[in-house]
Amino acid sequence: MGRRSRTKVKDLAYIAGFLDGDGSVMIQLKNRRKNPRGWRIMFTICFYQDSRHEKPLFWMRKILGIGYISRRKDGITELRINGYDTTRKILNSLEPYLRFKKQQVGILLKILTIIGDKNFVEVSKARRLRIADLIYRSRQLTYQSGWKKFSKSQSELRTILGFD
């Protein structure tokens, strides 16, 4: 293994550790009035850091080659990465080095595999139902300061996705 490969592995391991401690992986159902369903599914990887110590976020964005950085009013800076293909690629590269978010990332990768390169509405009803159950499982594993409207119960999630 060359020096460049070792550096890449160390960088990915560091970023995975940062995600384990100060990051989150999210599946969100976003309201979209213009969308016939009224919502869309969105995948996000987010890294958080006190704005006084935000430099590592810029470094991670450079290493990963994608994402946008924003400073919140509460003194926290975020690096956010969105999108099916992007999150799939990054999570696959970080997954071997994760410790604490391994289950959540595994669930997101399962959902992304089920969706594949299709639009969510092109996925069979049985597979969409599996996705709904996986989203609920992911939410159970994730610390949340307050449950959002779309995640209160498994039956509500299924209703939103058009199954009940």
| Structure confidence by residue, pLDDT tens digits, 102-160 | 999 999 999 999 888 766 667 777 887 888 888 888 888 876 555 454 445 667 766 66
Phi-psi category of residue 38: left, alpha or beta, with phi > 0 → left and psi -120 to 50 → alpha: left
pTM, full prediction: 0.81
User: What φ, ψ does residue 76 adopt, rounded to 5°?
Assistant: -105, 140
Q: What is the pLDDT of residues 154-163, one digit of tens each?
A: 677 666 666 5
* Structural domain total, the chain: 1
Give the CATH number, domain containing residue 103. Answer: 3.10.28.10
Q: What is the pLDDT of residues 76-87, one digit of tens each?
A: 999 999 998 999
Neighbours of 61 (CB within 10 A): 17
Residue-number span of the structural domain to which 123 is assigned? 3-160
For residue 25, pLDDT over 80 is answered with yes
Cα separation, 128 vs 82, in Å, equals 20
Band of pLDDT at residue 33, cut at 50, 70 and 90: low
Paired with 24 in beta bridges are 46
Specify the residue for token string 């990768």.
109
Cβ(82)–Cβ(43) below 8 Å: yes
Band of pLDDT at residue 65, cut at 50, 70 and 90: very high
